[in-house]
Structure 1
Amino acid sequence: MLLAMLFVVLQASVGEAQPREPESNRLLGTEAGDEAGLEHPSEHLVVTDFPGELIDAELDTWQEYVPEVEDVTIPASADEYEQPALFYAPDGGEKRPLLLVLHSWSTDYLQNIDIPLAQFAVANDWAFMHPDFRGPNDGHPESTASDLVISDMEDALEYARENARVDESRIYLLGYSGGAMNALHLASRHPDTFAGVAAWVPVYDLVSWYEWNERQGEKYAEEIAEACGGVPEEGGEAHEECRQRSPKAHVPDVAGKIRVLIAHGIDDETVPVEQALHAYNDLVEEEARLSREDIDAIMESGEIPDALLEVSLHQQRDYQRFDDAEAPVLLHLQSGPTELALFDGEHDMLYRPGLEWLALQERE
């Protein structure tokens, strides 16, 4: 009888792959990039230090810095669109990791600040994909996490799988700002695909971000309204459209099923840190969630409440890559396969710690 019960339990446990709590050597911090033999050919540590503006997008610059990357075209499966993308496939027959990087809100697949990510991929013999998915989120309805955007990202992933020898256990997804928004979208549709998802300063809820930008008088409010078909007022069609285009509508469905690092500058005035905090809450179990009072306190003071500091991992771990970039970690929480890191900074992405965190991840 006991053996029969044990068989039933084992059968249930293997019937569906369950996410495992990441081991300590897979967590952010105590970076081991040098020991792992990873190369960081770029001298730039954060996107705001890369030459030019954040939205600069020039093929000539890519060809200067990383000539190995090709400018390719991917036929869209959803319509007759031809999606441009930048792609690199390593030589040789050995299967290699794939790094899928998504451009940010106001530019396209030629976004120059992502060049160090491509340089890293080439130097470490990883495949690299940098798709366009309908270009900048400038208000046209086809952009801004539309169904066409989701389909284009899926097409880009499939193209990379078909044109490079990809290690299916080491497919990585990375995005910054609007790119992080779409990274969370794509991961929510394919929870069994990505070994790790690094989301830097993500837009998580378009409705609340619209309200934030409306109060600030920023152009993003108008772009959101145009893409969603109007001002997202409660009860209206535009509100529902914006809700569906937000990761917040889909990410809770995959809570505990995807390994995610959410990193955010605590003084971000472009995408407020509460976006990251709510994303973290939707990915973890109820007992691990930040309280409304904690979120309000962080937003109001720009400081971490004592109660959160008591459960933070950052006192026991080393974050040399953050320190090197003068953006020390202020809070590091982990629950199951989800991690949250708040750092001393604004609307920024640090290249090295995110890449090294991804390199530690591997699907069972």
Structure 2
Amino acid sequence: MQRTSFVLILYLLLIIPAKAQDAQVKWDDTSSKTWPDAFSTVEIPSTTDSTIQKARFYASQQQSPQPLIVSLHTWSGNYNQEDPLAKEILLRDWNYIHPDFRGPNTTPQACGSELVISDIEDAIRFAIEHTNVDRSEVHVIGVSGGGYATLLSFMKLNYPVKSFHAWASIADLEDWYWESKGRNLKYAKHLEQVTTNRHQFDPAEARRRSPMHMDYDAELRTNAQLRIYTGIHDGYTGSVPVTHSINIYNKLLDEMYGETVYPDQSVSYQTIETLLTKRLMPVPDTSLALGSRKVHLLKETPRLSLMIFEGGHEMITPQALSLLPIEGNQINKKFNILTIGDSNGATESGWPEQMKKLLPYARVINTSVSGNTIGFDNLGRENLNTLKNIEAYLQHATDSLAEEKLDYIILGLGTNDTKKVFADRQDEVIKNMESLVQKIKAFPAFKNHTPNILILTPPPYG
């Protein structure tokens, strides 16, 4: 049955209004310490040694309990290092804390010590005491050295966290020492300082601080999820080879489930060799794209997953927060969506771009044009008349999707139809919209499958 859904919804720009953090980030860059004014600096007494550990903190303004995001700084950073997730936190109005946990990984007190785990636990409890946290929605996330700290937290943190998200993470400090030493990276010197507090390296101490050499505690992580992400070019263009993510995933898959429960979800030596030598999967085992990035490999179980995407040493923002298994996040939905709009949909921060953030696996084909109308030749131009161009928009979308089906067509039009120049033609607007919908339904490619049609009300103005 053909189905058209006329939906009056709040305009998406009112829900997620700010510009996305899409720029490439150098993930261990500690030079920038810019934070939105809403984030305060708090001091948290350590329950282990009574020292003061600082953190960047944001308390949700919502009356109902909100999730808590625990974002962990990178290898060379500290609590004050700029976090690209901060602006996204404000858009969602979630609780947030960015703890110090002994600062850069250059001393024995930092880098996976017992003090680090204690500091992260203290930060979580501080946030819970000082804001309205939904205690069933605590999530830990980090990239690079923060990914390493996320893995440490998964192995040792004594708090019922719902999910852990490790991006471009280090899993084995002994391996990483020699990888950094061979490429003359500063991290080798850091590991010498950490493991012996001088210019030597202690492999045994490095292993003691490595998630790869820690035992998985099933009781500690009951029902918790660990999601591991890495760019396929990391280690070539970045500082952490993808083998760290693969090896910790394989280890935990075995320890969490045994060899027989999910035998097809392990990463074979042959696959590892292919990934390292070719830096792609000749036949990807998934058609997913994450934030427009091709996904080369996806292995997943209900509580553990590994994703290798087209990219380097990075976290994909702003989609990273939409991947958290928070109630309401549509993280597993792979929608194909055609958006047709005016300038409100054509800008970098327009509603189709905001939708891409909220639906990380969706493919959004945006044909919005500034000045576009439902059915008038705005400025005397036929190309700004959707009714005259709808077949071309639909053909472009179906060609782009090849054999895949279009799930939704979202129309965000109407603002320009109310211009003064069209004041004496307002009785045509509803008829034009009806004609537009009928043309969409009658499009030949939709003979066996008509996409859902959603109509956005024009945004308020003035």
**Is the structural similarity TM-score above 0.5?**
yes
Within 2, Cα distance between the matches of 1:192 and 1:90?
Answer: 21
Amino acid across the alignment from 2:29: L
Amino acid across the alignment from 2:86: A
Q: Which runs of 5+ in 1 are unaligned?
A: 1-33
Given that 2:71 and 2:142 are in contact with CA atoms closer than 8 Å, whether structure 1 keeps it comes out as yes
- State the secondary structure of the residue aligned to 2:306: strand
Moved more, 183-192 or 150-159: 183-192
Q: 1:232 to 1:180 in 2, by over 3 A?
A: farther
The counterpart of 1:349, out of the listed 315, 318, 324, is 315
Deviation at 1:232, TM superposition (A): 8.4
Within 1, Cα distance between the matches of 2:272 and 2:222?
Answer: 21
1:146-295 superposed matches below 5 A: 146-190=113-157, 193-229=160-196, 238-250=202-214, 252-254=216-218, 257-269=223-235, 270-285=239-254, 286=259, 287=263, 288-295=265-272
- State the secondary structure of the residue aligned to 1:351: coil
Within 1, Cα distance between the matches of 2:307 and 2:23?
Answer: 16
Give yes or no for the alignment of 1:128 onto 2:99. no
Deviation at 1:93, TM superposition (A): 3.7
Within 1, Cα distance between the matches of 2:19 and 2:148?
Answer: 25
- State the secondary structure of the residue aligned to 2:291: helix
Q: 1:193 to 1:111 in 2, by over 3 A?
A: same
Within 2, Cα distance between the matches of 1:253 and 1:277?
Answer: 20
Within 2, Cα distance between the matches of 1:42 and 1:170?
Answer: 26
- Where relative contact order (Cα < 8 A, 6+ residues apart) is larger, the structure is 1
Cα RMSD after superposing both structures? 2.6
Within 2, Cα distance between the matches of 1:223 and 1:177?
Answer: 15
Given that 1:251 and 1:282 are in contact with CA atoms closer than 8 Å, whether structure 2 keeps it comes out as no
Within 2, Cα distance between the matches of 1:117 and 1:125?
Answer: 12
The counterpart of 2:29, out of the listed 24, 36, 54, is 54
Given that 2:294 and 2:310 are in contact with CA atoms closer than 8 Å, whether structure 1 keeps it comes out as yes
Given that 1:191 and 1:258 are in contact with CA atoms closer than 8 Å, whether structure 2 keeps it comes out as no
Given that 1:90 and 1:126 are in contact with CA atoms closer than 8 Å, whether structure 2 keeps it comes out as yes
Given that 1:205 and 1:243 are in contact with CA atoms closer than 8 Å, whether structure 2 keeps it comes out as yes
Within 2, Cα distance between the matches of 1:342 and 1:153?
Answer: 27
- State the secondary structure of the residue aligned to 2:154: helix
Deviation at 1:123, TM superposition (A): 2.0
Given that 1:332 and 1:342 are in contact with CA atoms closer than 8 Å, whether structure 2 keeps it comes out as yes
Given that 1:84 and 1:131 are in contact with CA atoms closer than 8 Å, whether structure 2 keeps it comes out as yes
Runs of 4+ in structure 1 deviating by more than 4 angstroms, as ranges, are 230-233, 254-257
TM-score (norm 1): 0.76
Q: Which runs of 5+ in 2 are unaligned?
A: 1-10, 329-462
Given that 1:294 and 1:305 are in contact with CA atoms closer than 8 Å, whether structure 2 keeps it comes out as no
- Point out the structure with the larger helix share: 1
Deviation at 1:143, TM superposition (A): 1.2
Within 1, Cα distance between the matches of 2:211 and 2:305?
Answer: 17
Structure 2 match to 1:335: 301
Q: Which has the larger radius of gyration?
A: 2
Within 2, Cα distance between the matches of 1:184 and 1:75?
Answer: 24
1:38-53 superposed matches below 5 A: 39=16, 41-45=18-22, 47-48=24-25
Identity %: 30
Structure 1 match to 2:358: none
The counterpart of 2:58, out of the listed 81, 88, 96, is 88
Within 2, Cα distance between the matches of 1:247 and 1:46?
Answer: 30
TM-score (norm 2): 0.61
Q: How many residues are paired up? A: 303
Given that 1:231 and 1:239 are in contact with CA atoms closer than 8 Å, whether structure 2 keeps it comes out as no
Within 2, Cα distance between the matches of 1:260 and 1:284?
Answer: 11
Deviation at 1:107, TM superposition (A): 1.4
Deviation at 1:272, TM superposition (A): 0.3
